[in-house]
Structure 1
Amino acid sequence: MPLRPRLLRAGDLVRFDGRLQTVAALEGTAVRLVDEAQSASVVMLAHLLAGEDFEVVTPVSVRTVLPAAGVLEGLPSKAVERAGWWQRHLVEMLTGRPFNDPHGPVRGEYDPAVRSLRQRELTKVAELDAAGTAVSLTVLQDMRARFEREGVLGLVDPRLRSAPDGTGRADRRVVAALRKVVEEQTARSTVSAQVLRRRMERLLEDEHGAGVVPLPSRATFYRLLKAVSSGRHTLGSARTRRSLAKQPDGMFGQLTAVRPGEVMEIDSTPLDVLVVHDDGTVDTVELTGIVDIATRTLAAAVLRPSTKAVDAALLLARAMTPEPMRPGWPDALRMSRSVLPHVSLTALDERLAKAAAIPVITPETIVCDRGKAYISDTFRSACQSLGISFQPAHPDTPTDKPHIETTLGSVATMFVSHLLGHKGRSTEHRGTDPAAQAVWSMHQLQELLQEWIVIWQNRPHDGLRDPLMPGKALSPNEKYAALVAAAGHVPVALSPDEYIELLPRCRRTINSYGIRLGHRTYDSTELTPFRRQSSGVGPGGKGWEVHYDPYDISRIWVRNHREGGWITAIWRHLRTAPMPMGELAWDHARRVLAERGADPVTEEEIAQAAVALLDRAADGPRDTAGRPSGRSRKDRKVAARTRTTSAPSWPRPAPATPAEPPPPDAEEPEEGEGALADVVPLGIFDTRKEAEKWW
């Protein structure tokens, strides 16, 4: 540690602001300086001492040494003892006083006011030589310079001052090769230490030749591996190892949001619970949620067999729509009973009078990962139409959206783990038969989740502490009420037209028979004035903008580029599908027919096949074990997802024209089910009877 001035006194010569100045006077926290040109100035003492070029150049007689605290810890005892010996002699040579008595009498032979530095150095060399310790003048001067520059730490051998990394005196080539092996192991599967040792040996042979580098013993290798792989989980969980490798090397950043909706994060994760789907299958579900950073509000969350782009887009609409009270919910969950400013908010939107205690938040910026559901044109268009800034995270960097990651993890630990059918996060934590305990359907689980979210809003959150009262943790609703009072916030509900804007879009031609979309034909009487005409807008000016719902292919919406608004076109074969049918079921049915050699197939055949698939799902399982038979896992997943999204929780705009009823003389479609074949029993194999047979 360098020498510092003991006191700043009047008359001291200091270097400040690029020139030498003399301290003329000190009064309180003010210092009066006079430079060589006799120009006076007054500066604050704190500003003077914090100056980058501030230096006291007063003779060393008024200088002392700050005590070293902890700088020598961990060094060998002999090195510490040697540094203390040098410190005592150097302080005496520089100040004239003993090291342990800075205010004692000055020794005449070391008095800085009488003897020059050269004279004092020669005197100290002679004194040490007489005491039996021969030290040359060059060594003394070098130690004195290091002491003035670095303090007592400069008196230690530089070879001992390097930060210990646990590798000791091992060959640097061996350590470098082992570090490289450990780095490459990050993305690989976990192996034993012996495998890593063999990789290190091969790497040393490739780089330096066989037998050139001495290999460490088995015990030394394990010691080096422990030191090099510290904190990396090299021999542990591969998932944890990859997660740690994704953390930034520098200091973690922190994003501070000062108003609701300023920054929100969205993500999806599979839940560790088995549920009963509508067709009787037992499988997992995915949770997609959106959280507000400023208030930690879980603004919306939906359960789906698998997350699609339209799910993420419509999740934005749910965050901007009041959550209604459900039958059976306690009255304490109403917004009117919460700390939310319901009086002022109800004056803006009457629906909030019967809403649950979840704030309506309009997103300004959305942070998401680079999953297909979020980087799709559907989600980007939804953000653009709502005026939301779309901000994708860096590739493979979950630390860019830590709040939603933590929130979804809280849902897994605080909600999912209490459900019947909880299967644990891995096979290691799984019970004997969690599928047998699965009793909740997806719709029932969604209702339970919505009620739990309302309770979450009133639970103190450790990340919402008042800076003026750190011991007080606020709930998301309390934080929302505080920020709204300070920043102001007006919830804006979505209209039916805005809902249509959130749907996926494409461009199609309005033909004489209607609009073809996905091998389906849609038509409406309102399309008559625009048949076989160009829209005049968009690429080429020919196609008309069409929006569609992937989970209900019964209708589409065509933008009226001439008069404004939307035209609802109904599917021509809607009468063959008594329930909403999804795009997933349609495409799956078409692929099944194509694999049977019936491609190209007609639109009506695809519709009948898709309806038959959904009918089998509605009939439920046929075997005694309670599981559907005769269908693949893909069939069950498609049917389950279609059934799940057949009755969406968000309001759909009413169609412009009613569905066309079937004609009176229309024939009913033939049943696709054929007569059941006779079951031929297979007897038990008997070796004696088989031996008596003559083949």
Structure 2
Amino acid sequence: MPTRPMLLSLGDRVRYDGREHTVAALHGTSVRLVDDAQAPSVVLLGHLLASEGFTVVSSVGPGRPPLPEEGVLEGLPEEAVTRAWWWQRHLTELLTGRSGGDPHAQVRAEYDPAVHSLRQRELTKLAELQEAGEDVGLSTLQRLRTRFENEGVTGLVDGRIRKPATGTSRADPRVMAAIEKVMDSRVEEATVSAQVLRRKVERLLAAEHGAGVVKMPSRAGFYRLLKAVSTGRHLFGSARTRRSLGKQPKRMFGQLTAGRPGEVMEIDSTPLDVLVVHDDGEVDTCELTGLVDLATRTLAAVVLRPSTKAVDAALLLARAMTPEMMRPGWPDALRLSRSVLPYASLLPLDERLAKAAAIPMIVPEMVVSDRGKAFVSDNFLNACRHLGISFQPAHPDTPTDKPHIERTLGSVATLFAQYVTGYKGRSAEMRGKGPEAQAAWSIHELQELLQEWVVAVWQTRSHDGLRDPLMPGRPLSPNEKYAALVSAAGYVPVALSAEEYVQLLPRKWRVIGSSGVRINSRIYDSRAFGPYRRQPSGAGPDGRLWEVHYDPYDISRVWVRDHRGTGWITATWRHLRTSPVPMGELVFDRAHQVLSERTRRKPQEQEVAKVAAELLDRASDGPEKPPAPRRRKGDPAVRRDRKVVARTHATSTPSWPRPEPAANESREPEHADEPEPADEEVELAKVVPLGIFDAREEAKRWR
């Protein structure tokens, strides 16, 4: 580090404005300078000291010793470090008169800056070193002194030692430019060998400069150059990692700060590396879709689906804005009342929170997502518009626009998925042997485990990105950060109403017939349908059909928009009274399949309901008590039945609000005792009888 004088005195030689000057006078805040051409100038002292390139070449007064630089020589050869510190002591004595730079040490008379000029001190030090046996010249001493003043102790080390070896210093710049172009073009391409890249560089040089104009380095030399410039770019490694690094901006990363919950939320989907049993019995992976809050890092909603659709993304918003209710089997420690969340202040706003789990309810203000089909669909955009949410799509192919959800979903994969049986690894080389045989969870069972993990682990786990500026040593958990922001910003979430939740459900257009509305082979009816049966709605695509919203995970009821009045008409499933056990879509479909296999004909709906109830009773008894003699204990059908029951129990209890039936509606539909309407008539094909094969008659035809 260069030495600087403690005081600027008359006679000091300074460098200013690219020239050397002598301090001729000091008057208040002004300095009079005279250059070597005897041209005077007056400069303000503050401007002089702050100007670029200003330095004190020599001082007639006592100088300030350089600051210690202990870490700048680490990693260099020990001999070079020892020699640098030896020169540092001598040069400090030459400049300040004090040996070792100690400000309290006595100034040696022959090196006193107040008595001797810099030239005299240099000659004295040169004579002292030569007398001690050091073969050094005056020019060498002056060069080292200048480098010490400009660079500090690092200037006393041989530049060949302290300069990092890049491996490209002697290479032709044209060859290096061609290598850079080829490497940049390989970001999206497959990984190839260095021999292929060498050929591409040769062709590029010939195309730009002509054949044979630029000499290519030897094969070994080219490999050394390629290794030197490809460090950290995964040129010969994983293509996936190379593409990910190529998407990072070549600049400083920006930072978006949210001051309240819901101000900015990010949504995204990613494949989950766990094999699960899907509804059709196939073993395959599923997609994880999550919604994370930037201010608190709360995983407000998370769902598992075979593939993310627009309705799933819209329901994700609804789940974030409704309380997460306690599920059967969850410990009391996961209740909202037992957590750090502001339970006492939020309970008067929503009585449902008395039975809610410890995860905050957050109303999004702005949602950031990529341009996936599910997130730019009309369904999702209309849901955002209806809820007053600002939708902000990310730039194409720019995952850094939503880094928090990317990192959060990655954390779910490492902190949760790896512990689940059926985990297959994130790539083929990390996959175990036969992960399909280990898949034991259905997608709905895994959804329940994931939801419990979010409440029990994620929301209570300290997050490194949630550090208080005044207490940076202790990271906060998402629940703690939410409680802190609520107390500071006065955030009060307004829960989603039941009608608004119904609006976000998937819809279909159906006729209100004599027996009600048919959705997925089930009939739903209500007393409020009386004046609307067999009547056109006056809305929709043709004015004849009625808008019906249904929950794919609760088949007990549907909601029909009252186009001639206001609000919604709640219609219950006609055979719900014959099957009092809550049934989901999966168990109904499984019962439908059982009857189809048994009778080889299209079953009646009432028979399906009875078989579904029988299936639940039979499968709930467990494998120790086979419910029917026609099913053996090891029969795969029994195992499938048990999986269906587990999935049904996981989805039968909704955690979101439902519109209450109207006062004039009965629990049973008015047409409960009427016979079932026949299904759509299908014209039967003519039966063509097949004759019996007679070999002798067939042989006569060959003659």
TM-score between the two structures when normalised by the length of structure 1:
0.65
Q: Which residue of 2 aligns with 1:495?
A: 497
Which residue number in structure 2 is paired with residue 420 of structure 1? Answer: 421
Give yes or no for contact 2:110–2:121 (8 Å, CA) kept in 1.
no
Distance in 2, Cα, partners of 1:21 & 1:294: 60
The answer to whether the 8 Å contact 1:21/1:33 transfers is no
Q: Which moved more, 1:334-343 or 1:228-237?
A: 334-343
CA distance in 1, matches of 2:390, 2:293: 14
Name which of 675, 678, 687 aligns with 1:667.
678
1:404-445 deviation digits (Å, cap 9, x = unpaired):
222212221222222222211122122222222222112211
SS of the residue 2:304 aligns to: strand
Alignment-derived partner of residue 600 in structure 1: none
Alpha-carbon distance between aligned partners in 2 of 1:202 and 1:76, rounded to the nearest angstrom = 43
Per-residue CA deviations over 1:482-505 (Å, capped at 9, x if unaligned) read: 222222221221112222443579
Q: In 2, distance between residues paired with 1:286 and 1:363?
A: 23
Residue number in structure 2 paired with 1:286: 287
Query: Where does residue 395 of structure 2 map in the other structure?
Result: 394
What is the alpha-carbon distance in structure 2 between the residues aligned to residue 447 and residue 85 of structure 1? 70
Contact kept, 8 Å, 1:12 with 1:22, in 2: the verdict is no
Say which of 472, 475, 478 aligns to 1:470.
Answer: 472
Deviation of 1:7 (Å) = 3.3
What is the DSSP-based 3-state SS (H/G/I as helix, E as strand, rest coil) of the residue aligned with 1:328?
coil
The verdict on how the C-alpha distance between 1:177 and 1:454 changes in structure 2, with shifts beyond 3 A counting, is same
- Tell me the SS of whatever aligns to 1:359: coil
Please state whether the residue corresponding to 1:375 is helix, strand or coil: coil
Q: Is the 8 A contact 1:464 1:473 kept in 2?
A: yes
Within a 5 Å distance, the mapping from 1:615-654 to structure 2 comes to 650-653=656-659
Q: Contact 2:448–2:650 at 8 Å: present in 1 too?
A: no
Distance change (3 Å), C-alpha of 1:112 and 1:489:
same
How far residue 391 of structure 1 moved from its aligned partner, in angstroms, is 2.1
Q: 1:324 to 1:213 in 2, by over 3 A?
A: same
Alignment-derived partner of residue 60 in structure 2: 61
Q: Write the distance in 2 (CA, Å) between the matches of 1:338 and 1:527.
A: 49
Q: TM-score, normalised by structure 2?
A: 0.64
Instruction: Show the 5 A alignment for 1:200-599.
Output: 200-456=201-457, 457-502=459-504, 558=561, 565=567
Residues 1:355 and 1:385: Cα distance change in structure 2 (over 3 Å): same
Three-state SS of the structure 1 residue aligned to 2:186 is helix
Which residue number corresponds to residue 7 of structure 1? 7
1:188-215 per-residue CA deviation (whole Å, 9 max, x = no partner) reads 0111111111111121222222222222
Shift of 1:223: 1.0
Alignment partners' CA distance in 2, 1:143 and 1:4: 17
Structure 2: how far apart are the matches of 1:442 and 1:651?
A: 23
| Partner SS for 2:290 | strand
CA gap of 1:529–1:228, structure 2 versus 1, over 3 A, is same
Call closer, same or farther: CA 1:318–1:11 in 2, change over 3 Å: farther
Shift in Å at residue 327 of structure 1? 0.8
Residue identity in the other structure for 2:6: R
1:347 maps to amino acid: P
Counterpart amino acid of 2:60? S
1:334 CA drift (Å): 1.1
In the alignment, structure 2 segments of 5+ residues that lack a partner are 17-22, 33-43, 126-134, 574-582, 590-601, 620-630, 638-646, 687-703
Amino acid at match of 1:6: M
C-alpha deviation, 1:248, in angstroms? 2.0
CA distance in structure 2 between the partners assigned to 1:76 and 1:403 by the alignment: 44
CA offsets per residue over residues 13-44 of structure 1, 9 Å max, x none?
9999xxx99988xxxxxxx85799xxxxxx9x
Cα distance change of structure 1 residues 439 and 671 upon mapping to structure 2, 3 Å threshold = farther
Q: Structure 1 646/149 Cα, relative in aligned 2: closer, same or farther at 3 Å?
A: same
Distance 2:57 2:676 in 1: 113
Say if 2:192 and 2:236, in contact at 8 Å, map to a contact too. yes
Distance 2:141 2:375 in 1: 69
Task: Specify whether residues 353 and 269 from structure 1 end up closer, same or farther in structure 2 by C-alpha distance, changes over 3 A only.
Answer: same
Change (3 A) 1:253 1:56: same
Q: Deviations over 1:526-577 (max 9, x none)?
A: 7799969799xxxxxx9999685695999775585x9654578999xxxxxx
Measure, in 1, the Cα distance between the counterparts of 2:155 and 2:438.
Answer: 69
Q: Could you tell me how far apart the structure 1 residues matched to 2:546 and 2:147 are?
A: 78
| C-alpha distance 492-151 of structure 1, shift in aligned 2 (>3 A) | same
After superposition, the C-alpha distances for 1:233-280 in whole angstroms (9 at most, x for unaligned) are: 000000011111112222222333232222222111111111112222
Cα distance in 2 for partners of 1:655, 1:503 equals 18
Question: Would you say the 8 A contact 2:304–2:443 is kept in 1?
Answer: yes
What is the CA–CA distance in structure 1 between the aligned matches of 2:241 and 2:336, rounded to whole Å? 41
Please identify, of 198-207 and 387-396, the stretch whose mean Cα deviation from structure 2 is larger: 387-396
**Could you tell me which amino acid in structure 2 is paired with residue 498 of structure 1?**
E
Aligned 8 A contact 1:505 1:545 in 2: no
Give the Cα separation in 2 of the matches to 1:475 and 1:397. Answer: 28
| Aligned position for 2:184 | 183
Q: Secondary structure at the match of 2:206?
A: helix
Gap change, CA 1:218 and 1:551, over 3 Å in 2: same
How far off its partner does 1:185 sit? 1.0
Is there any run of 5+ residues in structure 1 with no aligned partner, and where?
25-31, 37-42, 125-130, 536-541, 572-578, 586-607, 628-640, 676-695
Equivalent residue for 2:592? Answer: none
CA distance in 2, matches of 1:146, 1:97: 18
Q: Tell me, in whole angstroms, the C-alpha distance in 2 between the residues paired with 1:68 and 1:176.
A: 41
- Structure 1 residues 615-634: Cα deviation after superposition (integer angstroms, max 9, x where no partner): 9xx999x9x9959xxxxxxx
The answer to whether the Cα contact below 8 Å between 2:362 and 2:493 also exists between their aligned partners in 1 is yes
C-alpha spacing 1:76/1:276, structure 2 compared with 1 (3 Å) = closer
- Root-mean-square deviation over aligned CA pairs: 6.1
Distance change >3 Å, CA 165–CA 324, structure 1 → 2: same
Letter in 1 for 2:466: L
Cα displacement (A) at 1:155: 11
Going from structure 1 to structure 2, the CA distance change for 1:166 and 1:55 (only over 3 Å counts) comes to: closer
Does the Cα contact within 8 Å between 1:13 and 1:22 map onto a contact in 2?
no
Q: Is residue 12–residue 56 contact of structure 1 (8 Å, CA) maintained in 2? A: no
Distance 2:80 2:340 in 1: 65
Q: Identify the residue that residue 624 of structure 2 maps to in structure 1.
A: none
Percent identity between the two aligned chains:
60
Which residue identity lines up with residue 500 of structure 2 in the other structure?
E
Asked whether the 8 Å contact 1:5–1:56 carries over to 2, the reply is no
Question: Within 1, Cα distance between the matches of 2:278 and 2:7?
Answer: 80
- How far apart in 2 are the matches of 1:76 and 1:170? 27
Once the two structures are superposed, the pairs formed by residues 86-101 of structure 1 within 5 Å of their partners are: none
- 1:646–1:246 Cα change, 3 Å: farther
The aligned runs of 1:111-126 (5 Å cut-off) are none
Matched residue type, 2:276: V
CA contact (8 A) 1:96 1:106 kept: no
Q: CA 1:90–1:435 in structure 2 vs 1: closer, same or farther (change >3 Å)? A: closer
